[in-house]
A and B are shown apart, each in its own frame.
Chain A
């Protein structure tokens, strides 16, 4: 009896701790959402905690009524769609030759690829390459310099290697070309792996702020994250941090923008669980 009692105390304490962790990760997102639907007076008086006070959609109307946010939103969708597609295409195609045990120069290529994981030339030389290629102020500056993520390439290569080679050999005997085999057999069979790494590509592009910050000068091309940064965060280059920017813009409007920017991510979030965990595990097994 004593033993059972102990177990239940343990379970309760454990559940409490875990509930606190869950609240700590959920509450900030909930709080932002609630504020975005509340009226300004209640927000300023600090009355809003769990439920919207004075529920209204004014903040959303204001955000959507000017051009900046909708345009940035479309930019983000465009960059993310193109970027994720290029990532998947480049990675899926590059991993295929590397996964063939007898591929010409395989060892040299692999060495050349892995070495780059250790040698990181830094921001400046990469910036100069992008500039010299004339990619600055184009969508390609966000897409091409990271078209292949080495870790993801290695993960996909391993996935291909574990696929049965019999189908490929049979297809080769039937006279199918390598390209055909890749696109009509290998890629369809590796959908789960592509979904896992694709999720990371998607989030990388949607949440990316540094690359557009340095490569895009044209404000009309700014994606959401850069606009958010200008709107939400005091610009340390221009003021000494003495001005509390958090107090300047109306909270509801800022938070409405954040909520809008989180929608795509939160939409895929429940469906992405499986692939997310798998992706983290794949990365750690290789890393």
Chain B
């Protein structure tokens, strides 16, 4: 009984000795994941404690579910839940068709330089920082000298301070997201179109199909699998809001529509030093996000045989 065990042990040791150099190279990676990915996971126990900087993670007192109870019974909870879900949902629903449309339109262009220039310009926003994009939005919408308000007043409309109007926050966020992501998301669809069998188009052309017909009956059906997978994956990560942009664009006037889990965690935790409470909120958000991501992944595997990894 002992021998095979011992045999396996010596096998393992041999394996380690053989790979010792590779293992040595791998140590920084192991340390990184333990310290910066698993360390914070362990640190999540402060959500069940009253963490103070002086007592540390270990030394702080256990308080059970106190912070969770406080959060769920707080009216902020429903506001945050609604805001996070709606912002993610609108971005998904309204943002989804645009990259596909852009890819289809680009694919119909026969002039190479034009196609290339439009495509190149379309992902310019992906290179700009969220601070610059937000400041562009603020300037564009400024009630004093913003371009939009200049246009409005030129046409006889009243000037409006869009960024303090709760009714405008979500449209502003969603439209700017579309503007920022349309170009690079279309890359994936363009590649998918390139993968469609060209003989389909030739046959259709021989049969006298118009370009509209070919888009409707060849390009779009050919894109369907990609669209489906993209949609499922995007649904899975729906509640991962671009909170940096929210942080830069919101203000107390629009908190009740703009505040999402992450921005709330930032304010409560880092600005008001309510570490444990904020960690509890963050943990709840992480659990919801993980469930959605795993769900989406499972569905995508079932349908397309392709998961996240």
Contact = CB atoms under 8 A, between A and B. Distances in A.
Interface of A: 3, 6-7, 10-11, 14-15, 17-19, 21-22, 24-26, 28-29, 31-32, 43-44, 46, 90, 93-94, 96-98, 100, 102-104, 109, 112-114, 116-129, 131-133, 144-148, 153-154, 177-179, 182, 203, 206-210, 214, 225, 228-229, 232-234, 236-237, 239-242, 244-247, 251, 254, 258, 261-262, 265-266, 269-270, 272-273, 276-277, 280-281, 284, 286-287
A178 B39 CA distance: 30
Nearest to A247: B144
Q: By DSSP majority rule, is chain A's interface helix, strand, loop, or mixed?
A: helix
Contacts of B23: 97, 104
Given A120-B289, A240-B253, A244-B161, 17 more contacts: A3-B210, A7-B211, A43-B145, A93-B25, A97-B22, A104-B19, A116-B33, A119-B41, A123-B278, A125-B46, A144-B36, A178-B21, A207-B128, A232-B131, A236-B250, A244-B142, A277-B187
A43 B150 CA distance: 12
B135 A25 contact: no
Contact of B142 (A96, A145, A247): A247
B293 interface: yes
Contacts, number: 284
Nearest to B110: A11
Interface residues on B, range: 35 or more
A109 B114 contact: no
Interface in B284-302: 285-286, 289-290, 293-294
A14 B108 contact: yes
Interface stretch (B84-92, B177-185, B217-225): B177-185
Interface of B: 15-16, 18-19, 21-23, 25-26, 28-30, 32-33, 35-44, 46, 51, 53, 56-57, 102, 105-106, 108-110, 114, 117-118, 120-132, 134-136, 138-140, 142-147, 150, 161, 163-164, 179, 182-184, 187-188, 191, 208, 210-212, 233, 244, 247-248, 250-254, 262, 265-267, 269-271, 275, 278-279, 282-283, 285-286, 289-290, 293-294, 308-309
Contacts of A232: 131, 134-135, 138
B37 A124 contact: no
Contacts of B289: 120
Nearest to B282: A122
A90 B28 contact: yes
Given A129-B35, A233-B134, A284-B188, A104 B15 contact: yes
A48 to B, nearest CB: 10
Contacts of B129: 206-209, 225, 228, 261
Contact of A22 (B16, B118, B211, B270): B118
Given A123-B269, A125-B40, A97 B114 contact: no
A286 B307 CA distance: 9
Nearest to B43: A125
Contact of B43 (A129, A153, A251): A129
Given A117-B308, A228-B135, A10 B211 contact: yes
B19 A26 contact: no
Nearest to A145: B36
Contacts of A144: 32, 36
A155 B194 CA distance: 22
